[in-house]
Structure 1
Amino acid sequence: MLLRRDLLKWAATGLGAGLAPAAAAESPPAPAGAPVGAPQGSTPPVPAFDLSAVVDKARALAKKGYEAPSASLPGAFSNLTYDQYVSMRPKAGTALWAADNVGFAIEPLHRGFLFSAPMAINVVEGGAVRRLAYAASQFDFGKVQPPADVGDIGFSGFRVLHARGARGLVDSAIFQGASFFRALANGQNFGVTARALMIRTADPKGEEFPAIREVWIEKPALATDALVISALVDSESMTGAFRFTLRPGEITIIDTECTLFSRSPADFYGLGGMTGMFLFGPTSRHSADDVRLGAYDVSGLQVLNGNGEWLWRPVSNPSTLQVSVFVDANPKGFGLLQRQRDFSMLQDDEQHWELRPSLWIEPITDWGEGSVELVEIPTDSENNDNIICFWRPKAVLDPSGEASFSYRQFWCWTPPDRPPLATVTDTRVGRIGTTKRRRFIVEFAGDAFADPVASHDVRPMLTASAGAVGSLKTFVSRERKTFRVLFDMDFGGDALSELRLVLENGGKPVSETWLYRWTA
């Protein structure tokens, strides 16, 4: 079920996925060999669709000056309010392929409100390409009075529906707004958002928001249970050709391949980007006068770096913008995870934060040198995605070159590749009395803690870049299989401190490494 809070959040971040799900009629098939996106009646012969054609388009586009697409709309759609936009609905039975028994259906999304930029949608059937044409007859416009003759105004994105047994066709993924997209696994609510390409995120020079200009969606076969989507991405400084292979299920997998080009030397772009929300929780409860115990899509960043070390960094809602950089080479995986799956620890009957997806990225090819970057932005609203994560390559992409990457996304409850060590299950931070000192509790969970012999020699190794550690204590629960570390920090006049904690036995780690940035 899509809730108002999610719709407002998507609007705030450029995503309108659930706002106005639209279904369009297919345009009549173009003549055999008609070019991709060609208007009806054109006949120049071209080869059947192939990803290389999208790569060639991106390469050619990068050699030209950037031209922003026209976002103009007929008057009735040009200044829609939120309520007007959400009132527009597709008529029943109009989703593409819904009656074809191929396991998937596509619902193009209407333009308007914050989503006026067009996305050209093409479908590929038997190698032949045709563009989806907008038809006003496919919509119930609700509170909007459409013009008498709308014409073909195109779409702002599309929704992917997937057949889930007796439930029929249900939400699986949404592509809309810049280069944003979302997916979920069985039983989940939409939460964390992915980005195909990020440019100068949190940079003082200002961020670019690349956009998906055109897509080619290949009609699937029921036996494959996979949907292939190719996309052309464009921005002021970069272009890219992407191929997404979507496989929904208990874990929804999206294999991503991309080839990137630049119009000018690109030294700050991001791959595997994702955003989530953290308003308040056990790590930061300032100004949280709320009946709920927490409000967050994601609880932390996990990284499996190139050296094989598992890192866990809880996220928070800071008082000032924070950017954390984890320098690495050929990372093995990273992602924003929701580790809190207990409703009683959140107490939100509407949002059900415990049902939000975790998103884990595993590179398929070597990514070379670079860094995983985490951005935490202050927010006073749960409608804002204030937690951002991405991989930033170190190498500069020059206009004369190109760069190719591939990786696998896991939209899941728990990533399939998990630490063979104790993991952090809770991080709590609070003030001690009326002083400026802070108390921390970090809880690790692992089967070894049920064994009194195995856990006897476990020692917490804690360091801080600033401040003095005091009152360090440990508490082991055989029943819960947990090892809790309590410690106090006196930061004095320091404004920032990087904390690091790992459990060791005989000088070897028995837990993932807990990292935390404290700021005044």
Structure 2
Amino acid sequence: MTAPARARHRGVSRRAVLAGLGGLVGLAGLPGGARAQDGAVARIAPTDGVVEELPSDVTSDQLFDWLTTQAETRATRAYQPPHRGTGFAKALDFDDYRMIQFDADHARWAGSDALFRLHAYHLGWLFEEPVAIYELADGQVSPMRFGPDDFRYHGDAREKVGAVESFPGVAGFRLNYPLNAADRMDELIAFQGASYFRALGRGSTYGISARGLAVNTAGPNGEEFPVFTAFYVERPAPGARTVTVHATLDSRSVTGAYRFVIQPGNATRIDVTARLFFRADVERLGIAPLTSMYLFAEGNRAQFDDYRKQVHDSNGLSITRAGGDRLWRALNNPSRLATSFFAEPGLEGFGLYQRDRAFADYQDAEAHYQDRPSVEVTPTSDWGPGKVVLVEIPTDLEVNDNIVAFWTPDAAPRAGEARSYAYSLSWGDLPPNADGELAYVLETRTGPGGVSGVAEADRTSRGRKFVVDFEGGMLGSAAPEDEIEPVVSISRGKIEHIALSRIDGTQIWRLVIDAAPEGAAAMELVAHLTGYGRKLSETWLYQWMNKA
């Protein structure tokens, strides 16, 4: 499995272009949307010839039910791959694409009392396959049509588009909203490429992305990328602070109907309902998949000759167990592909988090990693038994998305099955609750085992040192002399030394573990702090791969 590339150049970069588009990077080589059909009002954009009229005076629920019926019907028919782009969409390369921007004066719903604005993404470069966008307004569904007049072109990009009055579809869209200031429209959410989308909380910049569905991620037979083939956007009522988007999904193994109810805020919330119908057996189904990047931090800083202290969009996987107990799995940039499974009955939530929030933690004045959002997934329906899966892919470059997290059911879907999942996604800073009962992991550091600061030849240990700082919760008021105890376990390794102390002048407690791995197997460490007859911290987990 290779990490999808996110090409970065100084100056006007691919990252900068994609961030302006909605930032859906890491999509090179992924399938795009199916070709939209020019047809009657209120028709689905088919991938297999299924076209049926919608009833008139349709409500939001009726639209979703109708899309569900269409998805169920498509699942009984042979899969038709999306049409690859031709003409100008194929002719526009990266240099052309960065010279094209949507004209904000042509934003849909501009001039109305709606608080949202819709901007389309131009076809071209990585995004050749047209995707249809429809609008539900006053009970009627009608296509949103876009053409060259809706975009601003620079250089010779307009000449490459040629004599085209209307596009067969677009590459996706974004919604703007006065998120950070009442007098300015900020980007809120973007859908572009396969089933990828990204959203922002107040003060956030684009980083982590989500997908509608993951199929056979990190499996032996290669990953399948389902595609959102069409979107149905409900026109927001005047002054409404939520907006609803429906989508159709298609791939070789599965079809689906999706509903996204989007509520902007300090933490933007998206309520997702996915109704899925399976054409074929699926080995590993990924629900609520998240994709991020982790290059280095304190744990592997020595591997990179870089002036910056850390480079990552996320630095930990958080899992909330039934009853509120929390796990914190510090992320890795491993030496080889790593897949970890976390079986949690009654799972309350999971997510990829960016906990370090100061510029000084990164020192990157361009990327602003301190502003990248965390994302929390909260099931809102009964998902049944399953596991959280974490996939970590080796990478030497920050342009590669190398972290994937999702939930997978214990019972893999079979052809002919139908399943439904509902969950919420929260996007924003999502800081840990410092006033809660449990302390949280502030930082994870690693280095050579044994006494620090001695020459390699003088080291008494060939193991590894792990330094974990805990802060907050009831632990913060504990005195240094209080009986606070670490509980540490290890798999495929041996613990050589454990020490715990409070750092002078702070409320931070530091746990130091020296451990030696057994051969080349991945060593797993688990630790938490206890005292006063109770658990005082979330559970820290870490995986170390011996390169030997």
TM-score (structure 2 length as normaliser): 0.86
Residues 1:132 and 2:144 are matched in the alignment: yes
State the partner residue of 1:157: 172
Corresponding residue SS for 1:52: helix
Q: Which segment is superposed worse, 357-366 or 411-420?
A: 411-420
Unaligned 5+ residue runs, structure 2? 1-10, 30-37, 450-454
User: In the superposition, relative to structure 1, how do residues 189 and 262 fare at CA in structure 2: closer, same or farther (>3 Å)?
Assistant: same
Q: Which segment is superposed worse, 130-139 or 415-424?
A: 415-424
Corresponding residue SS for 2:73: helix
Residues in 2 aligned to 1:71 and 1:407: alpha-carbon distance in whole angstroms: 33
Letter of the structure 2 residue corresponding to residue 60 of structure 1? T
Q: Which segment is superposed worse, 421-430 or 286-295?
A: 286-295
User: In the superposition, relative to structure 1, how do residues 471 and 328 fare at CA in structure 2: closer, same or farther (>3 Å)?
Assistant: closer
Q: Select the residue among 41, 56, 60 that pairs with 1:47.
A: 56
Corresponding residue SS for 1:329: coil
- Deviation string, structure 1 residues 258-293 (Cα, Å, up to 9, x no partner): 111100123411111101101111121253111100
Residues in 1 aligned to 2:364 and 2:412: alpha-carbon distance in whole angstroms: 45
Contact 2:475 2:537 in 1 (8 A): no
State the partner residue of 2:378: 362
Residues 1:142 and 2:133 are matched in the alignment: no
User: In the superposition, relative to structure 1, how do residues 396 and 350 fare at CA in structure 2: closer, same or farther (>3 Å)?
Assistant: same
State the partner residue of 1:466: 492
Contact 2:197 2:209 in 1 (8 A): yes
Contact 1:36 1:131 in 2 (8 A): no
Q: 1:494 deviation in Å?
A: 4.3
Residues in 2 aligned to 1:2 and 1:258: alpha-carbon distance in whole angstroms: 37
Contact 1:358 1:414 in 2 (8 A): yes
Contact 2:464 2:515 in 1 (8 A): yes
Aligned residue pair count: 503
Unaligned 5+ residue runs, structure 1? 17-26
State the partner residue of 1:336: 352
State the partner residue of 2:15: 5
Letter of the structure 1 residue corresponding to residue 75 of structure 2? A
Residues 1:421 and 2:447 are matched in the alignment: no
Letter of the structure 2 residue corresponding to residue 269 of structure 1? L
Letter of the structure 1 residue corresponding to residue 445 of structure 2? R
Q: Select the residue among 221, 224, 227 that pairs with 1:205.
A: 221
User: In the superposition, relative to structure 1, how do residues 265 and 519 fare at CA in structure 2: closer, same or farther (>3 Å)?
Assistant: same
Superposition pairs of residues 73-84 of structure 1, within 5 angstroms: 73-74=86-87, 76-84=88-96
State the partner residue of 1:313: 329
Contact 2:44 2:52 in 1 (8 A): no
Q: 1:475 deviation in Å?
A: 2.0
Q: 1:3 deviation in Å?
A: 6.6
State the partner residue of 1:21: none
State the partner residue of 1:489: 515
Residues in 1 aligned to 2:475 and 2:467: alpha-carbon distance in whole angstroms: 17
User: In the superposition, relative to structure 1, how do residues 264 and 452 fare at CA in structure 2: closer, same or farther (>3 Å)?
Assistant: closer
- Deviation string, structure 1 residues 450-509 (Cα, Å, up to 9, x no partner): 434597111011111122222322221474211111121222534311100010115531
Q: Select the residue among 430, 437, 454 that pairs with 2:463.
A: 437
Corresponding residue SS for 1:313: strand
Letter of the structure 1 residue corresponding to residue 488 of structure 2? L
* CA RMSD between the two structures: 2.6
Q: Select the residue among 377, 392, 414 that pairs with 1:398.
A: 414
Residues in 1 aligned to 2:433 and 2:281: alpha-carbon distance in whole angstroms: 36
Q: Which segment is superposed worse, 296-305 or 430-439?
A: 430-439
Contact 1:37 1:122 in 2 (8 A): no
Residues in 2 aligned to 1:160 and 1:473: alpha-carbon distance in whole angstroms: 51
State the partner residue of 1:122: 134
Contact 2:15 2:25 in 1 (8 A): no
Letter of the structure 1 residue corresponding to residue 56 of structure 2? P
Contact 1:451 1:478 in 2 (8 A): no
State the partner residue of 2:343: 327
Superposition pairs of residues 474-513 of structure 1, within 5 angstroms: 474-477=500-503, 479-491=505-517, 493-513=519-539
Corresponding residue SS for 2:291: strand
Contact 2:285 2:413 in 1 (8 A): no
Q: 1:394 deviation in Å?
A: 1.4
TM-score (structure 1 length as normaliser): 0.91
Residues in 2 aligned to 1:519 and 1:12: alpha-carbon distance in whole angstroms: 28
Q: Select the residue among 274, 279, 285 that pairs with 1:269.
A: 285
Letter of the structure 1 residue corresponding to residue 77 of structure 2? K
Letter of the structure 1 residue corresponding to residue 225 of structure 2? F
Same amino acid, percent of matched pairs? 34
Q: 1:398 deviation in Å?
A: 3.0
User: In the superposition, relative to structure 1, how do residues 316 and 45 fare at CA in structure 2: closer, same or farther (>3 Å)?
Assistant: closer
